[in-house]
Structure 1
Amino acid sequence: MPERGFRPQEPSHAICQTLFDPCPGPDRACRLGAAVASFANVQDAVDAMVAAVAARDAYAIAGLYAEDAIVLSPNREATAGRTAIRDGWVRSFAAGYSALRVGRVRTERGTDRAASVFVWEATIAPQGSAAQTLRGRSILYLKQVEGGWLISADMWQQAPA
């Protein structure tokens, strides 16, 4: 991922509003069909997220999160719970979210908690429109569970160009 001189095209407000916004209303209670997938180390969470985005697999992404996890997105209410997180990714994929590249991962780990900070670029290519690049930075807060780690909180923001 380029560090300096990279100027991604600024995504439209409508695309930013659609992405990561959980499905509204009471009918969003969907059942997760995929198993929860805890991971052996913190870096595996980031790698699994990149792979799941490439596969456009919202179930796999949701499986990386604890049942009571939250996602904090800019100018939005918190997305709470694995099902709502999955619903948000379903909407993101429907809006054209198609690729995720991650760079500069920094992780600090304790015995049962860890935090990972990284920069990323996402490609959003709505059907019939030109692809756009969204550049951001995230922090994941993880907790150790039986058999590995799960994401407990995820906060992201757009990074300046």
Structure 2
Amino acid sequence: MFAGRYTSRAVSYYLIGDEALPLLPYLMRPFPKRVLNNEKRMLNFRFSRGRKSVECAFGMLTFKFRVFDGPIACNEYCAEAIVKTACVLHNFARFLEESFQEPSNFAETNGAVPAMPGGSRLENTPTQSQAIRMRNRLGNYFLRQEGSIDIQWKYVGLP
């Protein structure tokens, strides 16, 4: 459970990719596995958890809606509408099945997003140094109490 404070400050948006993708301000990738200290290992662990959650959610959508088995043959606007509609229908079906659960900390925060230090929308000019700063900021945030989760400390072997 999230133990920190929630505020209404903006949090930067980013995508999480794997090692094959470039590091960009809006696309975070894990640190190379060659030289990892505890902080870098923890950030890689958190990125991995995020990617697994998304892959699992997409797997559930694909199982229920076969339109996601291959390329969606329509324009971008229509594809976006299909994805959003599938998400709504999936959540509605889970709600009716009584298996839908809100995140444990959702009710206490009224849906607010936790603030990340320096969280602001990124400029449209993707630079390597900007991406490195963003990844370092995320790593520092995950090490702080308000950005950490219990399992991450067990993963890297810290108390």
**TM-score computed with the length of structure 1 as normaliser:** 0.23
Q: Which has the higher contact order (CA 8 A, sep 6+)?
A: 2
Larger Rg: 2
Decide which structure has greater strand share: 1
Decide which structure has greater helix share: 2
